[in-house]
Structure 1
Amino acid sequence: MTAWRIAIGAVAATLALPAAAADWAVPPGCSGFLTVQSKECRVSNHYRCSNDSPDRQWQADFDVDGLMLLTQTDAEARQWRIVDPRKGTDLSLDPMSSAIPKLSDLLRYNPDTALEQWMTGADGKKTFFLGFVQVIDEAVVIDGIALQRTVFNISKSVGDTRVVSGERGFGFVHPEWRLMFAGAGERFEGDMSNYKPHDGSPVDFVFADEPGFLSTRPIHDCEMMVSSAEILGSTNSLRDLP
């Protein structure tokens, strides 16, 4: 999860979502408008599609192994769809969701920012996100782009409401772009007593007339990252040793 990167999604063939990261390109009928190079070896490409509602936009996230996540949001920064090609999960916003903060309200520093959101997978299984997100009155400039800070604390439960992961910390929002970005914080997977620090803050904002626009290769904090292909190659080499 990023700053309020709450999962939602169900892939539709009409959106021509890419199947393989190595061959990724903006889908037919879609147009890219922003690339964000972030810490923790991640790059995100943002695009809009003519078949979508005019207020919808997509984000495609990549790491050293390629495409890792596809997320669709609206003008209120509410996440409607998410596709995880590695896990094979495909989630969509569930009508039973009772509290999904709107960006317009967050930007008015509305204190009522509780999040209670259900998503349903293609297999019918439910995922539940519980917590809060707020925009705080603090301006930040990154790569010449003015942003506002967010603060959040969100947990993820599946099926029988068993908590499986969570994240808390600070993020960023660009009010005019209607986009939220990851920041610094801490997260856990499985063990709620074992939060680990992380920082996925944006570093570079790349536009259509600049080198690196729509790149799928992350460039920051990648020195210690090893792709799964490299790990497999090393394992195979060891097997060949006498």
Structure 2
Amino acid sequence: MMQHLATSFLAALALTTLPLQAATFTPPAGCNLQVTVQNRGCSVSQYYICDADPEGYQRSAIFGKNGLFHTSIIDEETRWIESASPMSGITDRLVEGARDEASFSNLLKTGRDEFDFDTRASDGLVLNQKGFDVLTGETVQIDGQQLERTEFRLTTTGPDGKLVSERRGTQYISREFGRFYGGIESRTGADGEQTKTNDSPVLFTFPEEAGFGDTTPQFDCDQLLTQILQERAAS
């Protein structure tokens, strides 16, 4: 679940910024876009690989209604190598020497994988990320792709051991592509406030297909904006 640590919350924020502009994603030089995935929750993900990266690394760039809001790098075990938020300017990187490394291969082999590792932000903040992923045994077909449903729990704590957030819910994995996709989850913040999101994949678009590289999200954007406005009115 390493590539989905913050995207749902940031997608909601992205709706409140700049006006919508249609565009096509072009990966950096030396990189090749593999697939574009339209998600629930008003986001679209671009997954690509770069020649200069170690073998097995994958990159993603996730766009909301108003542009790019999250990028990430994972390795062949789906470890969270790096993530960044253009909105905040903060980059988070994996701290080597984890107490329990995330392992995609272990999840596939045993049906469960636990992890316990730290990330360090570019502003110096170190956070602990601890939790698990479990295969539910359910296989689903989404736009022609065979995916398996997982359940997860992720607890993030600060240097003082106090809760930053707790997330739990469901996601999907693809054995073919060796990665996680979003799902339905709930998040509880340090103040006890709870939010629920759904960024499940809907459409998978490959090279030579219409919509490949499209950065305009297609699903739930009006619904998400309405939800945000209602929450603001109630506060």
TM-score class normalised by the smaller sequence: 0.7 to 0.9
Whole-angstrom distance in 2 between the partners of 1:110 and 1:204: 26
Structure 1 position 225, deviation (Å) = 4.6
Structure 1 position 220, deviation (Å) = 0.2
**Which digits, 9 at most, give the CA deviation of each residue in 1:208-239, with x for residues without a partner?**
1111111111000012455xxxx9xxxxxxxx
Whole-angstrom distance in 1 between the partners of 2:144 and 2:183: 17
8 A contact 1:109–1:134 mirrored in 2: no
Q: TM-score under structure 1 normalisation?
A: 0.80
Structure 1 position 6, deviation (Å) = 5.8
Amino acid at match of 1:31: N
> Equivalent residues in 2 for 1:25-64 (5 A)?
25-64=26-65
Q: TM-score under structure 2 normalisation?
A: 0.83
3-state secondary structure, aligned to 1:100:
coil
Q: What is the number of residues matched between the two proteins?
A: 212
Amino acid at match of 2:134: Q
Amino acid at match of 2:3: R
Whole-angstrom distance in 2 between the partners of 1:157 and 1:84: 19
- Determine which structure has the larger helix proportion and give its number: 2
Whole-angstrom distance in 1 between the partners of 2:43 and 2:184: 14
Change in CA separation of 1:57 and 1:4 when aligned onto 2, cut-off 3 Å: closer
In structure 2, the partner of 1:71 is 72
153-162 or 76-85: bigger deviation: 153-162
Identity value in percent:
28
Whole-angstrom distance in 2 between the partners of 1:68 and 1:161: 28
Larger radius of gyration: 1
- Structure 1: segments with no counterpart, 5+ residues: 9-20, 232-242
**Which digits, 9 at most, give the CA deviation of each residue in 1:176-218, with x for residues without a partner?**
20010011121123333x3332211100011111111111110
3-state secondary structure, aligned to 2:3:
coil
1:175 matches 2:175: yes
- Structure 2: segments with no counterpart, 5+ residues: 7-19, 230-235
1:210 matches 2:196: no
In structure 2, the partner of 1:132 is 132
8 A contact 1:7–1:79 mirrored in 2: no
Whole-angstrom distance in 2 between the partners of 1:177 and 1:149: 15
Structure 1 position 110, deviation (Å) = 4.4
CA-based RMSD: 2.3
In structure 2, the partner of 1:5 is 3
**Which digits, 9 at most, give the CA deviation of each residue in 1:53-94, with x for residues without a partner?**
121110111101211110101121112111111111111110
Change in CA separation of 1:123 and 1:223 when aligned onto 2, cut-off 3 Å: closer
**Which digits, 9 at most, give the CA deviation of each residue in 1:86-141, with x for residues without a partner?**
11111111023211231111011344x22211011223320111111122321111
Amino acid at match of 2:135: V
